[in-house]
Structure 1
Amino acid sequence: MLLKILSLAGAVSGVQLLIIVKLLDIEAWQIIAALFTTNVVTLAVFRKWLAFSPQSTSDEPKGDSEKEMPPVDPTVQIAHETLPYLRRGLNETTARKTAEIIQKIAEVPAVAVTDREKVLAYLGVGCEKHQPGDRILTEATKEVIATGQYKVVQTTKQLNCPMTNCDCPLAAAVIVPLKCRDEVVGTLKLYQTTEGQLPPHVIRLAIGIAQLLSMQIELAELDRQTQLLTLAKLDALHAQINPHFFFNVLNTIIMYSRTNPTRARRLLIRLADFFRQTLKRHGHLITLREELECVNTYLVLEKARFGDKLRIVKDVDKNLLDYKVPVFSLQPLVENAVKHGITPKEGTGTVKISARVENNELVMSVADDGVGIPADKLNLVLQPGYGSGNGVGLSNVHQRLQSLYGEEYGLQIVSCAGEGTVIYLRIPLDVQIDTEERAGQGGLPYYEVESANR
């Protein structure tokens, strides 16, 4: 049987196989868990597994009734239907959906889901004392949370509910702990309205459901930890690029402090305004309008340095200004164009900043007609640490884009030595965040553009 399950590895994810093996109570399931826990979870594979049952693999002729697929086990069906909710973690909303699904499929009088302290969801018969958000009342539930062992309660007295003078019909229950990394995080309770021993199939059902829900909760926690690690990585990258930008601007101001102190003072004021705006920003995304303000500040400082040698062109649809983009996504590209494209060039150079919508993506580009990138260096510029200085800039933006949107959304560079460079940045529109905050509310002014044509 284990070999048969492992043969599914080419068609389904590892965690899917893990859940199958665990349900079948194969001793090797923990080993398989260690191998496959990084895969995406889905329980739909159980429907495929049914095709491997002895009834469906026999070569003998079958009657019409025998050709029918065996019914899906309630535990599997519940796990499959609750997956979209519990992958978001255990809270009142997901617990409510889970309780609805369990009661519908298990056909029990009442279902409750709790965390360690309060009721998250209650559905079915019962008195008004069973309300989401209320603290846990029954001593039986508290015992399960404390011991981590399931408990079968056969009488109302054993439930040990402190509430009296009510007509609550609940008389028996099976209470099973929900666990995450071997720690109890809540309970699942299936109730009966008649006292006495619960049917064995109800107890098995409750235990099986709780095991699968626990696995889903644990995988949701793993997802959450992965997201936190991603955000931590973004914070680290963002922390790199802020001083990178700051020190480059300071170098320009230092130069003017010797030759033109008045201009140096004005530039310092402009820099202070910029950082005042920066401190107001939270998170990793800002509007395109705000990002262009950052670019504008940088270009004002660079124009002070290069004068007429540097020409700026902007071709950005005003309807796109409220779209969300990663913080410091365009500014490093513009800085790269000025520093490595225009500065080494003899005569005047142009940097063009564009933004448009294409194939449901926000496509931004920074082009320069500078010296270009040699063919043998083109594949290296996005590597961390490449080039002079502290190695942030293009590689930093490239990594942050991939962390936020996926591997396919890194920077794309087209360059020809002696002719110039274009760097493309794509953002999927279907992940745009709320853009109710409109522009024109303070901020730095935009630079005037000469033309949309180069």
Structure 2
Amino acid sequence: MPDSPLFTAAAVAVIALAIAVVVGVGLKVLRSFRELGTDAERAIYNTLHAASKAGQHLRTGLNPAGAAKASRQLRNLLGCDALAITDTSGVLAWDGPSEELKPLLMGLASEALAGGRTTVIHAGDLRAPHGKTGGPATPVAAVIAPIRAGTRVAGVVAVFAPAASAGLVRATGEVADWVATQVELAELDASRTLLMEAEVRALRAQISPHFIYNSLNAIASFINTDPERARELVVEFADFTRYSFRRHGDFTTLAEELRCIDRYLLLERARFGERVQVSLRIAPEVLSTVIPFLSLQPLVENAVRHGLEAKEGPGHITITANDSGAFAEVTIEDDGVGMDPEHLRSMLAGHSDGDHVGLRNVDSRLRQVYGDDNGLVIETAPGEGTLITMRVPKSQPGHDA
């Protein structure tokens, strides 16, 4: 019977058991929650975890693949609606809505890129269309912080939210500084790798097998017809290879490098005859200038192999070295077939392979030693020849030839 004492006792027992189960489960959840630490400790853990995940994707530098993965972590870290990462030339990654603003971002970021200062655009000054088919505009605020890697701005971190609070501005700046640190670490790793590769290439692989094979063939062709010239060419070849494969020092003088070039051109003229014409204009005061070892010969070899060899008829190479204030300026110009500027730019940036490995090697080594502003300057176009300019400081404490 429902009203019996036995039924009432049973009901009370069931209710008590249910309460005990609920309390037990609750205590277990609370205990496990406490094991994770306090709210502050959990926030720190989440922040460090997101930063660690994002850092793994940025260790190769600012590139679209790494930036796309890192932007997801950084967007969650900042709690913003959308986040974008750019370099100095374009948008690398965009995570979140409001992609209608993506074509405008580089214009919005111009001040941060140029001046290295955070730009804040408040809601009302910037609006993103709502939805793909238009409709009411949604107010959007933007915070654009520069990524300062060393003394230069490498890009920006841009966040979009309903409002640009002071906290969001500070947090975005801190994230951009953290990204800059990852970029600098990536560049340091790349510099170490490039330095080792440059040394190996300079000491062992700058002489192309193509050149060695053709030089030996040219020497062989004179053994019967002109033995004296064949002997002279063998000596020049030996001197050239001895210099190119020397084991000491990363630097030499401009005078030594020009002597190496003279031997190289003598061997090439033995093969091409009058097809290779050379003019030199060298200022005596720059002959003692210290330059990276084997930094000019690959440029001259590029002019012969890729400029004149493919050209019909004779070709001309002009080598000049002038005093330009605190710098020595060397130019190598040929009137050969030239190169496609876009392909050349991609090759120098390491984005594509090509036959002009010597140019990329020299350009990388110059930037490592003297900074990014002192790489090769190359002017070329298909059918218009090539002009290469190299500038090195005349005073270089610590660099001994």
- Report TM bin, short chain: 0.3 to 0.5
Higher-helix-fraction structure: 2
The structure with more radius of gyration: 2
Q: TM-score, with normalisation over the residues of structure 1?
A: 0.43
